[in-house]
Amino acid sequence: MTQDQRTSPNDGNFPLTVADWDNLNHLVMNAGWDLIFDFNVFLRKNGNWDPTNAKELLEYTVKQGYKPAGYELGNEPNLFPTANAVSEKQLAKDFAAFKNIVSSSGVPPFLTIGPDTASMTPRYLKNFLEAGGGDVVDVVTVHQYYTNGQKATLKDFTDRKLLDKFIPEVDSFVKICNEQAPNKQCWLGESSSCYHGGAPHISDRYVAGFLWLDKLGLSALRGLQAVLRQSFYGGNYGLIDTNLNPNPDYWLTLIYKSLVGSPVFDVSQTTDPNVRVYAHCTNVSSSIGYISGSVTVYIMNIGSETVSVDIPFSSSKTQQRYILSPGDDNGLTSQFVKLNGNVLMLPNDYSLPPLIPVFSNDTLQLEAYNMGFVVIPDAMKAECMQI
């Protein structure tokens, strides 16, 4: 059993063995994750995708009782070199065959996900959806990165123009997705700060949190249902480093997942262009234990001066604050992050440390290059009482 996708004859062959598939499924089950698997679109016969190897893998998957949540076919098809090019029309045809193969294999309910184009608004995406792909997929996916990791500078990561570059991109994608695949979900199927593996000594440091947190806020506000992070491990943008220690974006993601629920509210502020503010209903299902009606606001200050921030929905109500700042004297390039002044570290037993807020009723003074979350437990927001 092997699944290997190469973009040119010179690329290496990386077969997926039975042991690899077993280990991967056991890992995600033990971690409580959902697995999405991407089949090799370069296995072809007479111009069409060849499902022979996929059928073998699916048969084994059913036999072992594994339950991947979704399946994809190919990756970044608009970047395939000429020798391996697959047209939009042909890929839509391949997806139809692919979905039929997976459905008939007896696997548990799953999502068909694609086409994972390499940018948010390429003509390839629109043509694929128009050619029938929009009827086949359950989730429309694209990839997004702000800039080239081999050329990015530290200054880029706090550049308002670079952050704002995401807005027209996500709006165009959502428009295409909704028009060509109505009632289907629209996801960022792969995303981080910079392509080409991230920016060395920047994409894995404190400063990368600004791009990540702003992207999460804008994605929710502009209508995306999911953002999948590249990557958990590996490259300069991994959430954990090569020694399996958390990078700053790991802690930011953990706090986000612990505090932020849905729906999202439009609380855009224009008084200070260096301040970004987003608000959601609080995640009441996390172990922290907030109640329905709570609101979580998350904020970031990419400017060099302390700013006063009026927190939405918090008038005369107690705020619980989770403020993040650089974890050491390296500042923006720190490999560590502080939560309310204390460096976040994994204990020796690798259990997660408690996330402890600071309580306050005062106007928030957000220091330069700080970011964080503010929960208003007694906001009693009607939209949040129904979840």
Q: What angle do CA 314, 320, 325 make, to 5 degrees?
A: 115
Is residue 354 classed exposed, middle or buried when 0-12, 13-18 and 19+ CB atoms within 10 A define those classes? exposed
Spot the catalytic one: 88, 169, 179, 190. Answer: 190
Helices (H), the chain: 18-31, 52-64, 88-103, 123-128, 134-136, 160-164, 166-180, 208-221, 248-259, 382-385
Sign of CA dihedral 235, 236, 238, 241: positive
Question: Is residue 130 among the annotated active site residues?
Answer: no
Beta-strand pair 275-282/295-301:
antiparallel
Spot the catalytic one: 76, 130, 367, 383. Answer: 76
Question: Is residue 59 among the annotated active site residues?
Answer: no
CA 302 to CA 70: how far, in whole Å? 37
Q: 3-state SS string over 95-152?
A: HHHHHHHHHCCCCCCCEEEEEEECCCCCHHHHHHHHHHHHHHCCEEEEEECCEECCCC
CA 128 to CA 101: how far, in whole Å? 20
List residues with catalytic annotation. 76, 190
